[in-house]
Structure 1
Amino acid sequence: MKKTIDIITLGCSKNLVDSEQLIRQLEEVGYDVTHDSENPKGDIAVINTCGFIGDAKEESINVILEFAEQKEIGNLDKLYVMGCLSERYLKELSIEIPQVDKYYGKFNWKELLADLGQSYHNEIEIERTLTTPKHYAYLKISEGCDRKCSYCAIPIITGKHVSRPMEEIIDEVKYLVSEGVKEFQVIAQELTYYGLDLYKKQMLPELIERISEIPGVEWIRLHYAYPAHFPKDLFRVMRERDNVCKYMDIALQHISDNMLSMMKRHVSKAETYELINQFRKEVPGIHLRTTLMVGHPGETEADFEELKAFVREVQFDRMGAFAYSEEEGTYAAKHYEDTIDQDTKNNRLDEIMRIQQSISAKLSASKIGQQLRIIIDRIEGEYYIGRTEFDSPEVDPEVLIKQTDAALSIGNFYWVQVVDSDEFDLFGEIIER
C-alpha cells in the first residue's frame, strides 16, 4: 500500500516551485502526495516554511507546532520541515520543537528523499507536479539576491544571486507547455540581476524574448524587478512581443531620497520617476504593480507625506504595502533604532492603502466598456472567474462572468466586454472576436 505524504507550502511562489519539484520526485518513487490539504491524512508531513518577516515566521512556527501536536497524539508518523525559516533558524528550531524528525534548509531538501530511503531522479529535474491550475505555472529563473537593502533578510537566508542556465529554463518551459501550461509567471527574488553571474551581463531581455518564441506560450508575466540599473532593452521586448504581458511588478519601497538612502536602495527619487515615465512611454498600456514600505527607521512625517503624494501622482495600477518589522542580522537591525511605534506604522499603512483603494476603484471603473482578453481560472458560486493580461493570480483583480451568459472552459481564453466594476474586480460579458 502506498504511503501518503502531505506537503504544506507557506510563503511565496518561489517556495511553491520547490514544493512542486519535491512532489514530482516523491510521486516518481511511489508516494501519494497531497498539497495544502485542509485535513492532511498522510503518514508523513513536510512543511515548507517562510522566514521573510515577523508575521510569516509566526505563521510557519504555528503550523509546525500544530503538526508536532498531531505527531505526539499518534496521527502522524514522521514530520519534516524545510524552507526559509528552517534555513535561518535550524539550530534554534531543533531545540525548541524537537518533535520534528529532521529540519532541512532552503536548498538541501533533496536529502529528504535519501532519508526516506529513496534516490533523487536527476532525469526529471525540470519536471514538477503543478499545484496551480494546469494552465499556468510559476517559473523561477534564479535564487538568492546580491542587493543589500537595509531591511531585508532574504540575502541572509538564500545567499548570493545564482542564475539558472538559460537552456535549462527554456527546456523547463517546453516541458510545461507539453503539460498544458499556457501562462508563465516569471519569478525571482530580483529579476533584473538575471545573467550577471553566469553571462557577465543582464540577460533578462534575451531570456524573455526566447521564452516568447516557444510555441504554446500565450502569456509571460514578470515579477519582482529592482529599479536601479533596470535593463532598458526589456521595454522593446515587452512592446514587440504580444505574448509578453504589459505588466511589471517592480518593488519601489519608497520615494523620498532620505528613505531611499537609509533603505540602501541605490536609486533616487528622480531616477524612480524617470523609470516610471519610461515604462509608460516605451510600453503603452503597461500596468505597474509595486510594493511600498512604511515605518522604516528614520521615516519622518514629511517622508510619509511625500510617499502619499507619490502614490496619488503616479496612480499605480496595482499596489501592496507593509509595515517595517526589524529582522535580526539586517543592516537596519544593526545600525538603526526602531523608534517608530507600531500604532504609527499601522496607521500609516492603513492610510496609504486607503489612498490606493480609491485609485484602484477609479482605474477599474475606467475599464467599463473596454473589450479585454481573459483566461478562465475557475468557477466560484454563480461566476466564472478570469483574469486579463494585467492581472497576476492570487494578488490582482479578477473578471467575473455569470455562468448563465455562456458555457466556458477553465484554462481557455475569451474576449469579454467590461460592463461593471467594484473596488477590486471587473464584471464582464462574453463577446465574439
Structure 2
Amino acid sequence: MKLVKTKTKKIHILTLGCAKNTVDSEFLQRQLRANQFTISEEINGSDLCIINTCGFIESAKQQSIDTILETVEKKKAGLIQNLFVMGCLSERYHEALKKDIPEVDKYFGSNNLPDILKELGAEYKYELLGERDLSTPSHYAYLKISEGCDNPCSFCAIPIMRGTHKSKPIDEIMKEVVSLSEKNIKELIVIGQDTTYYGLDLYGGRELPSLLKSLSTVNGIEWIRLMYAFPAKFPLEVLDVISDSEKICKYIDIPIQHASDSVLKSMRRGLTRKILSELFNKIRKKIPGIALRTTIITGYPNETEKDFEELITFLKEIEFDRLGVFTYSQEENTSAFGLGDPIPQKVKEERQTYIMDIQKEISYKRNVGRIGKTAKVLIERIENENYIGRTEWDAPEIDNEIIIPKSKHLKIGSFVNAKIVDSLEYDLFGEIVE
C-alpha cells in the first residue's frame, strides 16, 4: 500500500539504538522536510510514525520490538494513521516481522532512504547530499564516515544488517562538515563500524589520517573526536595527526572486547593480548595525557575463569580512562552462534559488575591525576546553578562531565578554560580561569 503524499503531512521519527542510527534519521528528516512534509515532535496526532530500529544484541532487539508493539496500539487507537519500520532490526528480520506484526504498513531495511521517500510519493533530493536536520544538542554532531564492516568478529551481526564496509568519499564528507560548521557545530564525533578501516575500499589504503587532517582545516570546528577505532592493524599515523593537531581531541575509543588470547582467537579479532598492550603503550607514549576508552564483553561462550582473570589483569595494567561493559548476547547467523550460550546470565552480570567496580577505582585514580590541570571545557547545560560541561577527554552521553559553579554568564555551546579542583569516580569539578 503506497501512501499518498497529499494525505501524509505530519511525520514523527522515533530513533532507537546507536549514534549511527541517529545520523540516518537526521538525513531522512532533512529529505522529508525538503519534500514539504512537517516533522512532528509528538507521535500522537501524526499521519505517519517511522521507527528506526536497532537489532545489535538481544536487549536492543527487545526494545525495538516493544516500541513497535506499543506504536501499533497507538495506531489501533487512532492516535497515528500509519506506521513504517526501518533500520537494523527490520533489515535482519524483515520477513519474520512482516508475518508477526502485520499491522505495520511497511518495513524497510537499514539503507533504504530513497525507497521510503518513493513510498511517500516523494523524491530523493540529490542536491541536499550531506545535509541533515540535527537531533543532537546544537554544539556537536556525529559524523558517519562509512557504512557496514569487513571484520569477521564471531559475535557480531553488524555485517548481516549493514553489509560490507563502504567508505564515504572524502569530498562528500567535507561537504557535510562544511554544512555542519555553518550550523555552528563545534564538535565532530567521528563514527563508523570501524573508523580505522576508512578508505581501504575506496582508495586502496587506510586514509583516516588524511581525513582527520582535512577535517581539521574546516573553520568553526574546534573539536574532532575519534570513536570506534579497531585495534587490529591500527594505522599508527593517526597518532601523529592527533599529536600535531590542536583540534583533534586527545581521546580515542578503541573497543577491545577481551584480552585473553584464547577468547580473542575465538572472537576472530585478529590480534593478541601482547599486540593490544603494545598498541596502548605506543599511544600513551606518543600522546601523553590522552584519554583511552574501550568496550568489553563478559560471558563469551568459551570464557573460563582463567580467561576472565587475564582480562582483569590486563585492565589493571592498562588503566583505561573510560570503559563500558556488555554481557554476551548469542546472535543468529554469527560464527559464534554454534558455540551455544553456556555461561549463565547471572555469571555474565557478576563479571560485568566486577569489572565496573574495578573501573570505578581506576577512573577515580585517573581523574584525581588531572586535579590542578587547566582544561578547555565545552559548556553543555545549566543545572542547579552550575554549568555542566565536558573536557576533550569525554564524549557526550557515555563519559564524565565537569561541574563548574555559575560565577559568570556563559553561553551553552561555548568553550571556557577551567581549572580542575576536585573529582569523583565519574565527574570532575572545576573553576573558571579568567
Q: Could you tell me the TM-score, scaled by structure 1's length?
A: 0.97
What is the CA–CA distance in structure 2 between the aligned matches of 1:258 and 1:217, rounded to whole Å?
A: 43
Task: Look up the equivalent residue of 2:229 and give its one-letter code.
Answer: A
Q: How does 1:253-402 map to 2 (within 5 A)?
A: 253-334=257-338, 336-402=339-405
Counterpart of 1:21? Answer: 27
Select between 360-369 and 93-102 the one with higher mean Cα deviation: 360-369
SS in 2 for 1:47: strand
Q: Deviations over 1:94-126 (max 9, x none)?
A: 111111110000001321212112111110121
Counterpart of 1:4? Answer: 10
Tell whether 2:420 aligns with 1:414.
no
- Say whether the 8 Å CA contact 2:294–2:324 is kept in structure 1: yes
- Say whether the 8 Å CA contact 1:34–1:40 is kept in structure 2: no
Q: How does 1:246-257 map to 2 (within 5 A)?
A: 246-257=250-261
Q: How does 1:205-284 map to 2 (within 5 A)?
A: 205-284=209-288
Tell whether 2:432 aligns with 1:426.
no
Task: Look up the equivalent residue of 2:149 and give its one-letter code.
Answer: C
- Say whether the 8 Å CA contact 1:82–1:109 is kept in structure 2: no
Counterpart of 2:65? Answer: 61
Q: After TM superposition, what 4+ stretches of structure 1 lie above 4 angstroms from structure 2?
A: none
Counterpart of 2:105? Answer: 101
- Say whether the 8 Å CA contact 1:136–1:182 is kept in structure 2: yes
- Say whether the 8 Å CA contact 1:223–1:250 is kept in structure 2: yes
- Say whether the 8 Å CA contact 1:6–1:41 is kept in structure 2: no
CA displacement at 1:3 relative to structure 2: 2.7
Over 3 Å counting, the alpha-carbon distance change for 1:416 and 1:41 in structure 2 is: farther
- Say whether the 8 Å CA contact 1:146–1:161 is kept in structure 2: yes
CA displacement at 1:383 relative to structure 2: 2.2
SS in 1 for 2:343: coil
What is the CA–CA distance in structure 1 between the aligned matches of 2:432 and 2:81, rounded to whole Å?
A: 51
CA displacement at 1:420 relative to structure 2: 2.1
What is the CA–CA distance in structure 1 between the aligned matches of 2:199 and 2:44, rounded to whole Å?
A: 40
- Say whether the 8 Å CA contact 2:30–2:133 is kept in structure 1: yes
Q: Deviations over 1:236-274 (max 9, x none)?
A: 100001101111000001111111111111101111100
SS in 2 for 1:51: coil
Q: Could you tell me the TM-score, scaled by structure 2's length?
A: 0.96
What is the CA–CA distance in structure 1 between the aligned matches of 2:134 and 2:352, rounded to whole Å?
A: 34
Q: Deviations over 1:380-406 (max 9, x none)?
A: 333221111111111110111233x11
SS in 2 for 1:331: coil
CA displacement at 1:40 relative to structure 2: 4.4
Out of 30, 34, 37, which is 1:31 matched to?
Answer: 37
What is the CA–CA distance in structure 1 between the aligned matches of 2:356 and 2:49, rounded to whole Å?
A: 37
What is the CA–CA distance in structure 1 between the aligned matches of 2:138 and 2:129, rounded to whole Å?
A: 19
What is the CA–CA distance in structure 2 between the aligned matches of 1:310 and 1:277, rounded to whole Å?
A: 12
Counterpart of 1:114? Answer: 118
- Say whether the 8 Å CA contact 2:293–2:322 is kept in structure 1: yes
